A and B are shown apart, each in its own frame.
Chain A
């Protein structure tokens, strides 16, 4: 606790810190007099919210919450903004899809209070390092018509955050701060500035300017948004130091200039150094609205332009349009956006960029012979082990997967029916990988329960939705109510591990924060009572103190029984599996590491090749437990048929 506070909050202006991009964003918020931060966790954006949640009471901010989902986060933030607060809301790229409905209206409003400022922090994840899909959130900027800034490194994260608040306060428009994984999760030297206390005025007026309920006002406000506020934003963008030309005066024989933004800018510099090529670079930090005049005057100086950006050709298509409008005839290289052709695009739509990809593209444009043969290096292939991500040792989902596998084998052999699985987004998604392979369909957060209904309503198979507690609260509830009301014969497994595990154990409305994080401030909503109120058939199974005995066997029987009931009686059943995320559990309990008695182990392999706990491995024909990895869940002890696994005495 104190460590985070000391690192982020303490320190005099001018001091250098080794900050994660996201930590720099927190600091930028504090230096802008932030009152409120609302968020929904999602990699690579989560650290910002986690830090604020931890420090906000001590730094005197008004309110911070990990909201139930992104839509609610942006609504809470939007009203606080309207009421005169300095507000930031954070999420990952796909979170913006969930938040988009209220945001469209919110972006149009024009708060009266001079202090009102709203920054929407959105972190994209090219290469989907930790995402189910790859999505370029910049495409929303044209829809929402709001200013947007894109930093390229942690220092810029701090500075751009402060700029974003300034712009929002001045224009009365929400401003998007867009990062990508390699910026949010880069760590670098950051020089800090001065923290400002919030100056929120207590009188406010939720009047016409922020009220878009009426059709009358909406069009009027929309006109104002586009022709007045965005027009001013354009003026700012044209004159902003965030858009700058680097190597202004250098010349190259190819008459080539480069336009880029964000982290791609740093890769461009690296590639130019590698090729010993000199070229002016227009680095765009103010990515919406684009500075048309500045870009046109830059284009005029070249015969060839290379636009470098990750994922979608957001800049490139606009640069093309600007060239056309200004009657400029020059070659624009990039993704050849209208061709949908891999052959003609020099940079990919898909995946992350890096200096090597950019060098290879520059070689195609300039025919420079590089110092080293990149294609030859890329061409060398080695035997690489296909490592899949795995659940933590002691993860409750592994136990559920194991019991589920046993239960469905039994159901299949009894009924001969097909069984389909609808996965949701969370750590349990990893059950989709072999050998367990519980996934037939998966879309996005909260979709499993409805997906199961789509098949169950039209086919006599057994359809099982697997959803985590975090995801259930986020967006699973409407789908469940839909299923109950429409009498969908499905089995819903809610894997209640108490937290939003995948993104780092943040709380959700069912989390009891008594022992952790938010202390006594929040009491979890009782999921069981809530579900009983819906009229569904509900069973709850617990794996906690006093409920350890034959847990796996009981879980298997329960799934078997309810699965049959769904098939036979066409009921909707919900099973809540209450088993805490081991990463949180060990914060409150002593880890009781297990050991294998090599005398009793006959190397049946059940624990390391079927149950697949990563703490267990085979060596010299016996199984061993790595005591540095074991987190003491005890399930291996239960399932070992030879009673060879024992616990360490306390």
Chain B
């Protein structure tokens, strides 16, 4: 795997801590010698609306927004949100889709069915990974806010980073009890096996 230019799309809901995720990953990548750029939108969208962020790194500085059909990894911290960013997946189906099994339904709207979701995901990628990050965080540290850190631990295997790099980065972001929770969540995510066999494909 080369990392001349690598792009991650992160999508989820406002208030889920996507910005911290970008900061922690970005900081660790910069410390490891990469040129990193992230794009975030703050403000209104921080409250429950859908948010899409980008993290890009490599040998030279990229634009904050990538081309559609050209990214390496897409992370959805809420399941249905993945549908909004599939246009960033490569047509050759090599983009990794990392999807939290967390479902945030909305009143009076039908949540996409499992069948529909799986069929469109398969249309777009041969590398689909579901992670029950919220459940893991809840069971492990009694705090669902650590779900993103579980995901961060999980994707470590795909990135040119070591667990210690992210630990350092977490220490810059959190302190006290919050730090402990997140360090635990990171380890747990990293330990998870690759294919969690959550669905019968």
Contact = CB atoms under 8 A, between A and B. Distances in A.
Nearest to B111: A385
Interface string A378-393: 1010111111111110
A629 B36 CA distance: 31
Interface stretch (A178-186, A405-413, A468-476, A481-489): A178-186
Interface in B49-106: 49-50, 61-70, 80, 83-84, 86-87, 90-91, 105-106
A502 B27 contact: no
A383 B112 CA distance: 7
A270 B63 contact: yes
Given A153-B37, A385-B109, 13 more contacts: A44-B41, A130-B45, A153-B61, A186-B40, A355-B65, A372-B69, A372-B91, A385-B112, A389-B44, A389-B46, A612-B107, A614-B48, A628-B143
Contacts of A181: 41
A382 B49 contact: no
Q: Which 4 A-B pairs have the closest CB atoms?
A: A130-B43, A266-B63, A390-B48, A389-B49
Contacts of B43: 43-44, 129-130, 502-503
B83 A384 contact: yes
A46 to B, nearest CB: 8
Contacts, number: 149
Interface residues on A, range: 35 or more
Contact of B65 (A43, A354, A612): A354
Contacts of A608: 107
Interface string B164-191: 0000000000000000000000000000
B47 A189 contact: no
Contacts of B157: none
Contacts of B48: 387-390, 614
A189 B30 contact: yes
B13 interface: yes
A187 interface: yes
Contact of B80 (A186, A385, A391, A392): A385
A579 to B, nearest CB: 17
Q: Which one of A186, A359, A387, A504 has the greatest number of beta carbons of chain B within 10 Å?
A: A387
Contacts of B26: 18, 187
Contacts of A617: 105
A646 interface: no
Interface in A278-300: none
10 contacts: A44-B41, A129-B43, A130-B42, A186-B37, A187-B38, A266-B61, A385-B111, A387-B106, A388-B49, A502-B44
A380 B45 contact: no
B39 A186 contact: yes
A626 B68 CA distance: 35
A380 B86 contact: yes
Contacts of B69: 372, 374, 377
Contacts of A222: none
B132 interface: no
Most chain A CB within 10 A, of B66, B84, B107, is at B107
Interface string B144-173: 110000000000000000000000000000
Interface string A334-362: 00000000000000000010111001000
